[in-house]
Amino acid sequence: MNNASLSLSEQLNQLVSQASDEFDDIGDYIWKSPGLIKHETEIELKKLPLYFPNDPKSAALRWKWQSEKLTGVFPHFIAVGNLFSVVSLFEFYLLQLGDKLQSSCGIKLESVKGQGFPKLLDYFKKINLSPDTVPLYHQVKAALKIRNCLMHSSGILAWDRYEKDLRRTLSSRTYLSSEDRNWRKSIGKISNEVLIKESAVGDRLQVENMYSFIVSAYLRDYFFDLCGIAIEKFGT
């Protein structure tokens, strides 16, 4: 069926179905991607006796070099890359939602200034979707600010214009939902998915891959709820 012949409700339900598949796929990828570290570690350990059968000193030097990458560099790139990817997917689907709604509500996306997530939020507010009342809104905003700090400021808090807000978010751990915070509290687990580490140029954000995985669920659920509100308000 041609998409143009579908009602808005049908188009939005189709969009939710497509998003569900993509968020499931990226969530599975994020969950499994640290397996690369385990796989590469096994390979590197097998190489040592082959490369240096009678040279333990050289073997130790190679392992020091490789293990530093496997335990520090690679996990960092995996976690940050996964966060960038899932937030980008989220913004892509928000844009598609806005594009479908503008033809029904008579208010164009171009009528709102800005770009990216802030522009789309302002647009949804303008058409009375009240995106800031949707569950997980604060966790979604935190994820976007964390992503932006990592992308535009290399994670250096002092370089980010939302430094104070980010520090409060990390201190209160409100980058996690209340349910996730309460669950961790009930089992005595400390939330360490997002940390502040010292660096040569100041405090720097560091994210764990588990945060990227958790965020993939937050972004998915927020988008689904926002679409549900749009269907109730504009669907025919």
pLDDT in tens, 143-202: 999 999 999 999 999 999 999 999 999 999 999 999 999 999 899 888 789 999 999 999
| Max CA separation in the chain (angstroms) | 76
User: Contact, 160 vs 142, CB < 8 A?
Assistant: no
pLDDT in tens, 67-78: 999 999 999 999
As a whole number of Å, the CA-based R_g of the chain is: 22
User: Contact, 120 vs 94, CB < 8 A?
Assistant: yes
- Dihedral sign for Cα 187, 193, 194, 195, please: positive
The DSSP string of 149-216 is HHHHSTTBGGGSTTHHHHHHHHHHTTTS-HHHHHHHHHHT----SEEEE--TTS-EEEE-HHHHHHHH
CA 122/CA 233 separation, integer angstroms: 17
pTM given for the model: 0.92
Question: In which domain, by residue range, is 40 found?
Answer: 3-234
How sure is the predictor about 34, in pLDDT bands with cuts at 50, 70 and 90? very high
CA 8/CA 4 separation, integer angstroms: 9
86-90's contacts with Cβ under 8 Å and 24+ in sequence apart are 86/23, 86/26, 86/27, 86/30, 86/212, 86/215, 86/216, 86/219, 87/143, 87/144, 87/147, 87/215, 87/219, 89/22, 89/23, 89/26, 89/219, 90/140, 90/219, 90/223
pLDDT at residue 1, as a whole number: 47
pLDDT in tens, 204-229: 999 999 999 999 999 999 999 999 99
How sure is the predictor about 236, in pLDDT bands with cuts at 50, 70 and 90? low
Alpha carbon distance, N-terminus to C-terminus of the chain: 17
User: How many domains are contained in the chain?
Assistant: 1
Backbone angles phi, psi at 176, to 5 degrees: -105, 150
CA dist 1 to 7, 18, 101, 198, Å? 11, 16, 20, 56
